[in-house]
Every structure is written in structure tokens, then in C-alpha cells.
Amino acid sequence: MQTVALRSRRLEAADHFEAIELFIARGWTDGLPIVPPTEERVEAMLSTLNRDPGEVVGILAPRYGKATLEKIAINAVMAGCLPAYFPVVVAAIEAIADEAFNLSGVQATTHVAAPLCIINGPVGQALEVNSGTNCFGQGFRANATIGRAVRLCMINIGGGLPGVTDKATFGHPGKYTYCVAENEETSPWEPLHVERGFRPEQSTVTVFAAEAPHNVSDHASPSARGILTTVADTMATMGNNTMYKAGEMLVVIGPEHAATIAAEGWSKQDVKTFLFQEARRPVAELTRAGEYYGDVTWERYWPRWIDRNDPTARIPVVHRPEDLLVIVAGGAAGRFSLVIPGWGAHGIQAVSKAIHFHPSGGCHDGT
């Protein structure tokens, strides 16, 4: 392994445990123990990309810290990542630093939003990122540590400190780690990254500012229309930001549901169009409660083509079918799907970036 010149200041600790306590005391963790970022471990992380450790990948709000490759590598070590995971973490940091993602808002909001990393392409299988049974749960190092590395960068580089700059009223467990791969092998449709303009053989990460998953249980519907009607009802709730402020929403369709839907010849675009048409609530309901601000809501968030004088007119949860992100993931058994509302229309959108990864473990140009 080639040694690189590290620029970060050194700290001394008597042993592994003293280092952990030091980092916790200084507020450099997410509350859990970390892996001490020794020079050897950081160098091993950096060796997976043939790039200058001082290269700035992005600027992370609200501190507007420079996310250099070296700083990202330190946080990836702390999170417990293997060196092979590092290109994925770097791409995710590049994505959250993109202006379209609005990291400043995500870091400071009182909402529960957390960046969800969705992995596509060959990197998912190569790194064993879980896309199947319990894919949003515990038990898989890649999912756990890649998502955690992103959060640690948000804390230590971006300055997202709970109660100081991070004003989330509740937060949710995804603020520790939130990472999943699309189950492309069981999906009957084109994967997310192909929809978003990448080639099938490319590896990508898409970041989406997301609430916690909302379960959709439908073991009875034998048809695509029945399953997606249940999904649509779960989407159009008065308590989620997206219902009033539009933006984007993620729908994760379980393999059993996907198989039933596809068997009737439904394309992914059919799914999106149906959900756009059905995931709606009447004006009369939405204006009597929820996050309704009168003319502000009408002028700023709701579509112009809705007749505000018609109490039976139905407001869509998103403005266009294209505002729905649809992936297939989850275990082979169980007729479940998930709805994951976004943060809402605060000038934010999901961002996808290519991962500079090669299955052999070396660096790659991502093209």
C-alpha cells in the first residue's frame, strides 16, 4: 500500500478505549463508539482512490466545512467502513454537497429528514450491500457503516450538531445510518440509476432526504390495482410534509408485490402514473387540518390547475409522476411495500452520483 501524506493533526491516546472516550467527549461521534482513525487505517481507505487526499469533494453546510478526501476517509474509518466502501462514501458526500440537495436545510430543519443512500449497479453485489430481507434493518456491515460514515461527515465536517444546528424535533433512527441497495435482481423494471440517465453497468448512489419508512401491508389484493391503491392511500396522509408541500416521495415495492404488478404488464411508468392519480386527498379534508396555510399553500405549493373553489377537487401528493422515485427492495417473502415521504418542496431534490468503483477493488473513473 502506498503511503500518502496526511495533513490532519495528530492526537495521542493510550489505547483504543481511551481514543473512543476522547472522541465521544469532544462530540465527534454519533453517540456510539467509533473505530479510532489511525494513520494506517486512513491511508488504507485513501488507497482505494488514486487522488490527492487534500482534494475537496464538496462543502458541507451549515459549518461549510471542506470535505476533503482525507477528512471523509477519517470519518469512514470511524464509522467502521472497509476500505472497499470508501468510493461509495465519497460519492454520497458529493451528492449531499450538491446544491440541489439543500444540505443546509436538511441539517437545520425541525423535520425528521435524514439522507437515505440508495445504491445501484454492480457495486451493490460486490460490497454485499443488503437489498433483500431486512434491508432497512440491522445485520449488514456495508449498509450500516456507509450510511454512518455519511452522518459522521455531516457532524464533523458539516457541523450538524443535535440541539445546536440540528434542530430536529424528533429525528428518526435513520439519522444514525440510512443506506440500502435496490434489489435489481428481483425487479421486473429498469433500476433507479438507469431511469436517472446512467448506464446499467455503472454504479451509483442516490441521496434522498427522507422520513422513516412507512409500512404498507397488503396480503389480500390479487391485482396491481388493489396493491397500488393501498400504497396510494398510505402516501396521501395529512401528517407528512409532501402532502402539503409536494417535492418528491420514494416508494419501495417489495418483490412479491412487484411480481404481481408486473405479471399484469404494468411498467414502472404505469405504476408512477397510477400513484400520481390515486395518491390524493380532497380540498375539503386538507384545508380543515394539517399544514394548511391558506393562500400561501395555494400559491406556493399546490398545482395551479386545481380549482380551489371546489371542495371535492383532489390534491396530488406530488406535482408530477416523475416526482415519484420507485425502487424494488426487500425480502422474497411477505406482501409488503414501503412509502418514504421526503422533506417537502423546500428547494430540495434527490441527487445521484456515479461511484468511482471497480469490482476488482481498484479505482475507476466512474464513466
185-238: per-residue pLDDT in tens?
999 999 999 999 999 999 999 999 999 999 999 999 999 999 999 999 999 999
pLDDT of 366 strictly over 50: no
Q: Are strands 280-282 and 179-181 parallel, antiparallel or unpaired?
A: unpaired
Amino acid found at 251: V
CB atoms within 10 A of CB 288: 10
Please provide residue 144's backbone torsions phi and psi, each rounded to the nearest 5 degrees. -65, -45
- Confidence bin at 11 (pLDDT 50/70/90): confident
Could you tell me if 168 and 219 are in contact, meaning their C-beta atoms sit under 8 angstroms apart?
no
Could you tell me if 87 and 48 are in contact, meaning their C-beta atoms sit under 8 angstroms apart?
yes
Helix axes 141-156, 69-79, angle to 10 degrees: 130
Helix (H, G, I), strand (E, B) or coil at 351: strand
Amino acid found at 269: Q
The domain spans of the chain are 11-211, 214-342
Could you tell me if 56 and 66 are in contact, meaning their C-beta atoms sit under 8 angstroms apart?
yes
pLDDT of 4 strictly over 80: no
Per residue in 226-277, pLDDT (tens digit) is 999 999 999 999 999 899 999 999 999 999 999 999 999 999 999 999 999 9
Whole-number percent of the chain with pLDDT over 90: 90
- Confidence bin at 73 (pLDDT 50/70/90): very high
* Cell representation of residue 35: 473505530
* Cell representation of residue 124: 451493490
Q: Please, which residues bridge with residue 21 across strands?
A: none
Lookup result for grid cell 425541525: 110
* Cell representation of residue 90: 465519497
What mean pLDDT, rounded, does the chain reach? 94
pLDDT of 367 strictly over 90: no
Q: How far apart are CA 279 and CA 48, in angstroms?
A: 44
Nearest-CA neighbor of 84 among 44, 57, 53?
44
Q: What is the pLDDT of residue 359?
A: 55
Per residue in 277-334, pLDDT (tens digit) is 999 999 999 999 989 999 999 999 999 999 999 999 999 999 999 999 999 999 999 9
Lookup result for grid cell 395518491: 279
Could you tell me if 75 and 85 are in contact, meaning their C-beta atoms sit under 8 angstroms apart?
no
CB neighbour list of residue 135: distance below 8 Å, 6 or more residues apart: 143, 180, 181, 183, 329, 330, 331
pLDDT of 358 strictly over 90: no
CA distances from 274 to 62, 143, 278, 280 (A): 39, 31, 6, 11
Q: What is the pLDDT of residue 301?
A: 92
CA distances from 184 to 87, 135, 201, 311, 341 (A): 20, 13, 12, 42, 22
Q: Is 287 exposed, middle or buried (0-12, 13-18, 19+ CB in 10 A)?
A: middle
Q: How far apart are CA 367 and CA 203, in angstroms?
A: 9
- The pTM of this model reads 0.95
Q: How far apart are CA 136 and CA 256, in angstroms?
A: 17
Q: How far apart are CA 91 and CA 301, in angstroms?
A: 31
Q: How far apart are CA 60 and CA 104, in angstroms?
A: 8
Q: Are strands 249-253 and 324-328 parallel, antiparallel or unpaired?
A: parallel
Q: What is the pLDDT of residue 121?
A: 97
